[in-house]
Structure 1
Amino acid sequence: MRKYLRHPIDIPIEYDLEFELDNIVSDRREYLYNLSEGGLSFRANRYITPGSIIIIKIPLVNPAFQVRSEVVWCSKNNGVCFDIGVKFLDENTEFRVRMIEQVCYIEHYKKEIFEREGRKLSGEQAALEWINKFANKFPS
């Protein structure tokens, strides 16, 4: 049984990969596709060794989410890209839960707009619209 509930989404993320001596591979833009309180998974164009430490950034949520994470698995997907699973190393559970709630609201908004208006929004478009309309009402 899973410890945390997964939320499927397609919000753009960025990551920085830490190497020895703090050399950083910076700002790789990918798409998040599963999110839970304990971690997330995303697709990348390169293999990332399990045990690697990466900094995950989700710039579209308000406030911008950034968390230090550890790669726990990496598997090839259709021979084209890699699915990467990470666990959060940050102990700030309250912030993580709030970020997850916000992302779920954005996904709900995306589906609601499609049903109500027939507009098919990307995760990024939905996030930008939702933030402009509702982020100031989201409890802090």
Structure 2
Amino acid sequence: MIGPQHYLQHPEQIELELSPLINAPSASDSSLSLGLSLHCHHYYPIGKWLRIQAPALTDELSIDARVVDCNRDGPGQYRLQLSFPDQEQLFRARMLEQLCQICIYQHQTPEEERDRRALEWIDAEAAHFPSDDL
């Protein structure tokens, strides 16, 4: 299986929930050149379909992705590389990763300044965030 040419690197500070998909997408767009790379504590075989969620950030966003590669990256650690079946799932993954970056950027800020910090990150970084020509 050939995977994406580039991967968004998920920050380790934000925990993702990975669940095997019972009903895998029927088709996959192999032309998407942007995927997602992350550390996890479980091995997933190549070709396995997963649902990704970040419950600490939002309950409303989930993403379906296919395992492109999963390699041991230390004791009890794996480097997981994922691809997306279509532009919609890639767009959702990109949005989730931007939420993660904003959350990290806001982390050391008092509660009353978090909205301002989020807007600062959007102004400074959103235009440069990888998009795979979305």
TM above 0.5, yes or no, is: yes
SS at match of 1:12: coil
2:40 aligned to 35, 43, 67, which one?
43
Runs of 4+ aligned structure 1 residues displaced above 6 Å come to: none
What RMSD over aligned residues (CA atoms) do the two structures have, in Å?
3.5
- Structure 1 partner of 2:21: 18
5+ long unaligned stretches in structure 2: 24-33, 123-134
- Structure 2 partner of 1:25: none
User: Closer, same or farther in 2 for the Cα pair 1:104/1:48, shift >3 Å?
Assistant: same
In the alignment, structure 1 residue 85 sits paired with structure 2 residue 81: yes
Task: Tell me the CA shift for residue 7 of structure 1.
Answer: 5.3
- Structure 2 partner of 1:101: 98
Q: What TM-score do you get using the length of structure 2 for normalisation?
A: 0.57
SS at match of 1:75: strand
Task: Tell me the CA shift for residue 9 of structure 1.
Answer: 3.9
Task: Tell me the CA shift for residue 15 of structure 1.
Answer: 1.4
Q: Looking at both structures, which has the greater relative contact order when contacts are Cα pairs under 8 Å and sequence separation is at least 6?
A: 2
5+ long unaligned stretches in structure 1: 23-36, 118-128
Residue identity (%) = 17
